[in-house]
Amino acid sequence: MSLTNVWVQTQSDGLVRADQVVGVDAHTTPALSGKPSRWLLDVVLAGPLGSGTRDGWTVTMAHRTLVQTAEDPGDAPAALVRLLAQLDLVNAAGIVTATRADARDDDGPGRPGPAGDVVAGGGRVRLRFVPFAGPEPGHHTGAEYL
C-alpha cells in the first residue's frame, strides 16, 4: 500500500500513518477483578520495541487500539482492510476513524450510514473516512509556497 496521506485515529496514541499498518486484529482483553472483558479493534505496526540484549535487538509488533466494544466486532477488521484498499486505489488523503456505532442507528451491517460511513460487524463498529479539505482555488500548494 502507498497510503502515505491517509492516517488512522487511535484511541489513545494519536494518529498512525496508514502505510505503517502491517495488520488488523480484533481480540479480547482478560477480565480483571471487577472489570469485564472487552473487545479491542487494533492496528498492528512493525517496529523496534522492547530492549536490546547481548544477543541483539528484538523486533516485536506494536498494537494500537482503534476502538473498544463490549461485543465481538465481527467483520470490522476485514471492513477496515477493505476501506484502506479502496482509499489506496483513489490516492486518498485524510483520516480514518473507528467508533462504536449507536445501537439506535437504523443502518445495518455493511450498509452505508449517514455521510457514507460503513457499519461493520456484530459489535457495530463504524468506520469513517474524512478527507482533508482541498486548498481554495488560486491558493498555491507547491513546496515553494508553503
Chain segment 28-71, per-residue pLDDT in tens? 999 988 889 999 999 999 776 666 777 777 767 888 999 999 88
Pairing of strands 39-47, 125-131: unpaired
Note the pLDDT tens digit of each residue in 8-31.
999 999 999 999 999 999 999 999
Which strands make up the sheet holding 118-120, listed edge to edge? 15-17, 6-9, 94-100, 125-131, 118-120
- Residue 19 neighbours by CB under 8 Å, 6+ apart: 1, 2, 3, 4, 6
Q: Taking all residues of the chain, what is their mean pLDDT, rounded to a whole number? A: 81
* Residue 141: inside a domain: yes
Q: Would 109 be classed as within a structural domain? A: yes
Q: Which three cell numbers stand for residue 19?
A: 502505510
Judge whether 10 lies within some domain.
yes
For the chain, where are the E strands, in sequence order? 6-9, 15-17, 21-28, 39-47, 52-53, 56-57, 60-69, 94-100, 118-120, 125-131
Higher-pLDDT residue of 22, 119? 22
pTM listed for this prediction: 0.76
Lowest mean pLDDT among 22-31, 70-79, 115-124: 115-124
- Contact criterion met (CB below 8 Å) for 61 and 45: yes
Which ranges of the chain does DSSP label H, i.e. alpha helix? 76-89
Round to whole Å and give the CA distance between 18 and 44.
10
- State how far the Cα of 31 lies from the Cα of 38, in Å rounded to an integer: 8
Output the pLDDT for position 88.
Answer: 94
Supply the range of the domain harboring residue 68.
6-145
Q: How many CB atoms lie within 10 A of CB 7?
A: 21
Q: What is the mean pLDDT of residues 101-118?
A: 54
Look at residue 1 and tell me if it is in a domain. Answer: no
Say whether pLDDT at 105 is over 70: no
Count of domains observed in the chain: 1
Residue 15 is assigned to a structural domain of this protein: yes
